[in-house]
Amino acid sequence: MRTDAVRGQIQELLRAKPFQPFVIVLESGDRIPIGHPENIAFDPGSNGVKPSEDFYVLTGRLRMYSTFDAVASVALLDRGESL
């Protein structure tokens, strides 16, 4: 399932040491910068609980609610690219 793949990719980026900022690009073209692991929240699922299909982003003035199914791509931010 695509949702699982996107969620897994984001989880890998969040666990990276050191953390590197990344951007989530939605199918609408909206770009959601993730500058710190605490800027995004979702239930990863455990103990038989189904993982969430939704995620929430709080960063700067941005407040975003979306679904992993709406994500077109996920990529590290270029060094010169701003959040």
Q: How far apart are CA 71 and CA 34, in angstroms?
A: 14
Strand ranges in the chain using DSSP code E only, listed in sequence order: 22-26, 31-34, 40-41, 54-59, 62-67, 71-76
Residue 66 has pLDDT above 80, yes or no: yes
Model confidence, pTM: 0.86
Any idea what the CATH number is for the domain that residue 58 is in? 2.30.30
Q: Is 82 within a domain?
A: no
The verdict on residue 83 lying in a domain is no
Domain annotation covers residue 52: yes
Name the residue range of residue 52's domain. Answer: 2-76
In this structure, is residue 50 part of a structural domain? yes
Q: How many domains does the chain have?
A: 1
Q: What is the pLDDT of residues 55-64, one digit of tens each?
A: 999 988 999 9
Q: Is 3 helix (H, G, I), strand (E, B) or coil?
A: helix
